[in-house]
Amino acid sequence: MTFQPFFIYAVTFILAFCSLFYEFAFAQVLAVSIGGTKIQYLIVISLFTFSLGMGSLVYGKIKPRAETRKILLWVEIGLTFVGLLGPFALTWILRPGVFPGGSAMPQALAYFTVILVGFLSGFEIPCMFDLSPSRNGRILAADYVGMLAASIAFPLFFLPVFGTASSVMIVALFNCTVFLWLRSIEGRHWETMIGLVAIFSSMILTIIFRAELNELLSSLYLGVDP
Amino acid sequence: MRLGYVALTASATTMGYSLLIAVAMMDFTGEEVLTQCLAVGPYLLGLGLGSVYGDHIPADKKISRLWLLEWLSVTVLPILPLIQLAAVFIFLQYTHPSVGLDQKTGLAFCLGIVGVLSFIAGILGGAQLPLILSSAQKLSTEVALAFNYIGALLAGAGIVFLIALNIPFGHQILIFGIIQLSGLMLLLSTFRKRTTGLALMFIPLIILFGTAHLYPVVEHYTVKNSYHRTRVDHVSQLFRKNLYQVIKEFGELERVRTPYQTIDLFIEPPVPHLSIPGNATLYLNRKPQIDILTTAIYHESMVAAALNLFQGMPKKILILGGGDGLLLKELKHLTSTRITQIELDPLMLQFARDNNVISGLNENILSNMPKNMEVKIEDAISYLRKNSKEQFDVVIIDLPFPNGPDLSRLYSLEFYKMVRRVLSPGAIVVIDLPLYFTEERAFAQESKTILKTLRSAGFRYPLPFGPLASFVAVGMNETPLRFDYLRFPEELSVSAASNLVDVFPDENLTEADWAKQNVNTMFWPKEL
């Protein structure tokens, strides 16, 4: 199966953008819930880089047993869900009193989510290499440019314009688009069309209800409102 | 395994230096999220471009090029934080005194520097990895990659650890440099011209120790200069000795770095022939907090306002922040009131206890604490999140201004809602916050955002006051708060009394106007 180079680069760009974006959003939630923006960003970035590597190592082990496209399909499902639900889940589990005992368990769970996103993202580049073997250099370039774009877009555009909750939902919908593209290769055009309409509508709704979505995150943070 | 260790040190140190550059610049920008993000992005981009370059090196030159790149990294990377600091110094010299590093031009300059330097670190790190992978004959690619990724993990964890241990920045540079040198040493055995290699090792060694030694000196000059603001008109003046003499001799700077903030006390001598009195200013993260000349206006009026608006003798008072001890001093006369102070930074309390200037101002209250007063070392947010049972009659919030995301959370909807939970019926909250005005004498957008945030948290009638030092008082009341001027104590100083005046530039704003204003929340921060 051959792929148009433009699609390969665009998909790589989107995937890299989404992965680092999720991590920045998680770092933001961790900084709000635990405190210490500087420390949380440092921890998240190093855990992300580490788990990214671990993901590519594990991909090397499972590659002979599974089809690349299917691996990528599952990775995108996983990333869409973890990215979409991550900020809400993290805010909730890090609220005092939700977990009995100290803060060690919820914090470990929160950092595990950070590792999970990095680990799943680690599969993406080797998958893209395998889907288009002759374009490794350019795929890598698209990957790094995607990460650069995320690091600029998150603090300068998404966070001030949409807030944490809606930003991460918009980006998760981008991730979902890649999932649809991978499904469309099987020739399910109607399904793809319906999916695209659903994604577009969800994106519009997310933008319209951005205040409510961020309020939901606030309620999870505060618990019962006085 | 040798190359595995080199892979580990290469990624740990290149990423480590990129993070160090970001952390050092945060002191100047106050923008933690933006600075971190704009260091990570260019670093990763550099990593990618570097690895593309590394891939294109011919097979026969890989080992020698790897040695060269590693040598270049050990030599160049430690200088980057110093270059960054020197750039900030020069920028400050050339800009108008009103252009701060946290304003748009200054911020763009600082973030640009962080981006470029992180990109350089990324390129040097990225170029080494493909060379290590192709040179490692006994080491599988997976294991070499694993070493590389563990290095990245160690970089972040290492910096968190060094910050927590309060290790000076110059020493942090040294630690990363020594780790990197150990990798270069191991690589030396693979280098053909070992004697030349050994001789070349001295260059990075000298640069490393020189940078570690020079960094605190340059930092001292840069920070001090940012406070008393000498300026030059021409590049040649930068090389004149008397510029540095002026910076060195004018005033004293005492700097304490804590895991939470940087405390600076800048003491300016009097200039008698210009009738300028001497002063001492306490800065937290380079933002002025108190100074000798205005402290009476500030703390005295804050306490007087809170007690006046409460209409009675409070049984319990909560202070959030106020690590300088000056609010405790002002409340010393309330011997039958239980006073609890929540302060995040134990080193701030220690500084306020041990420093002659600050302990003189707070009359040594932190060393001789009355029995009705208690200081708890805790983050105000986590204290409020955990404690919703104990209630207070008066809450005084004396926290640093919202410069940066960590601090803007202390001015958020969630924070004010948590404050509401600890209020007794009829309680009063006095908040120290920045109020800015437009030329038309209306509240500036940032101030409207804070006032709207307070209203959204359930404080319907915020009372902004203080033409000299701005505060806002709020309560659970259903009618607007007003000062009872007959109840102010007679011993109140004139300067404090003159600050107890309402400021109502926007009193004609309707509910519909307020509905249009922004609310600052922890998850959707607004510009404050």
Contact status of B379 with chain A (Cβ, < 8 Å): yes
Residue B198 located in a structural domain: yes
Which of B201, B228, B255 marks a domain boundary? B228
Q: For residue B441, what pLDDT is reported?
A: 78
Instruction: Give me the catalytic one of B264, B345, B398, B432.
Output: B398
- Tokens read off for B503: 């400021």
3-state secondary structure of A114: helix
Out of B42, B152, B421, the one facing A50 most closely (by C-beta) is B152
Residue B523 located in a structural domain: no
Interchain contact, A38 vs B527, CB within 8 Å? no
Q: For residue B99, what pLDDT is reported?
A: 67
How many domains is chain A built from?
A: 1
Domain of B297, CATH number, reads 3.40.50.150
| Same-domain pairing of B285 and B297 | no
* Residue ranges of chain B whose pLDDT lies below 70: 97-99, 102, 136-142, 190-192, 388, 506-508
Q: B410: which chain A residues are within 8 Å (Cβ-Cβ)?
A: none
| Same-domain pairing of B182 and B261 | no
- Comparing alpha-carbon positions, the chain A residue that sits nearest to B12 is A46
Q: For residue B244, what pLDDT is reported?
A: 79
Interchain contact, B386 vs A96, CB within 8 Å? yes
Instruction: Give the sign of the dihedral formed by CA A39, CA A42, CA A44, CA A47.
Output: negative
Residue B528 located in a structural domain: no
Out of B38, B45, B163, the one facing A144 most closely (by C-beta) is B45
Q: Which residues of B392-423 are buried (b: 16+ CB within 10 A; e: fewer)?
A: bbbbbbbbbbbbbbbbbbbbbbbbbbbbbbbb
Q: A137: which chain B residues are within 8 Å (Cβ-Cβ)?
A: 52, 55
Out of A45, A143, A218, the one facing B48 most closely (by C-beta) is A143
- Comparing alpha-carbon positions, the chain B residue that sits nearest to A36 is B406
| Same-domain pairing of B31 and B125 | yes
Q: B240 to chain A nearest CA, in Å?
A: 37
pLDDT per residue over A46-62, tens digit each? 899 889 888 988 888 88
pLDDT per residue over A138-181, tens digit each? 887 888 889 889 988 998 899 999 999 999 999 999 999 988 88
| Same-domain pairing of B307 and B333 | yes
| Same-domain pairing of B499 and B475 | yes
Interchain contact, B48 vs A45, CB within 8 Å? no
| Same-domain pairing of B204 and B85 | yes
Q: For residue B333, what pLDDT is reported?
A: 92
How many domains is chain B built from?
A: 3
Residue B524 located in a structural domain: no
| Same-domain pairing of B324 and B360 | yes
Whether the predicted pLDDT of A225 surpasses 60: no
- Tokens read off for B114: 């962080």
Residue B521 located in a structural domain: no
Report the mean per-residue pLDDT for chain B. Answer: 87
| Same-domain pairing of B271 and B217 | no
Residue B237 located in a structural domain: no
Contact status of B178 with chain A (Cβ, < 8 Å): no
Q: For residue B153, what pLDDT is reported?
A: 85
Interchain contact, A160 vs B527, CB within 8 Å? yes
Report the mean per-residue pLDDT for chain A. Answer: 88
pLDDT per residue over A101-137, tens digit each? 778 899 999 999 999 999 999 999 888 888 887 777 7
Strand partners, B317: B339, B394
| Same-domain pairing of B357 and B262 | no
Whether the predicted pLDDT of A226 surpasses 60: no
Which of B188, B205, B228 marks a domain boundary? B228
Q: What range does the domain containing B366 cover?
A: 291-516
Q: For residue B138, what pLDDT is reported?
A: 64
- Comparing alpha-carbon positions, the chain B residue that sits nearest to A95 is B385
| Same-domain pairing of B249 and B199 | no
Which of B251, B270, B289 marks a domain boundary? B289
Residue B479 located in a structural domain: yes
- Comparing alpha-carbon positions, the chain B residue that sits nearest to A39 is B160
Interchain contact, A222 vs B153, CB within 8 Å? no
Q: What range does the domain containing A183 cover?
A: 5-222
Burial class (CB in 10 A: 0-12, 13-18, 19+), A225: exposed
Domain of B111, CATH number, reads 1.20.1250
Domain of A82, CATH number, reads 1.20.1250.20
Residue B90 located in a structural domain: yes
Q: How far apart are CA A194 and CA B369, in angstroms?
A: 70
Q: For residue B367, what pLDDT is reported?
A: 94
| Same-domain pairing of B281 and B298 | no
Q: For residue B37, what pLDDT is reported?
A: 86
| Same-domain pairing of B334 and B482 | yes
3-state secondary structure of B263: strand
Q: For residue B527, what pLDDT is reported?
A: 83
Q: B32 to chain A nearest CA, in Å?
A: 6
ipTM greater than 0.85, yes or no? yes
Annotated active-site residue B398? The verdict is: yes
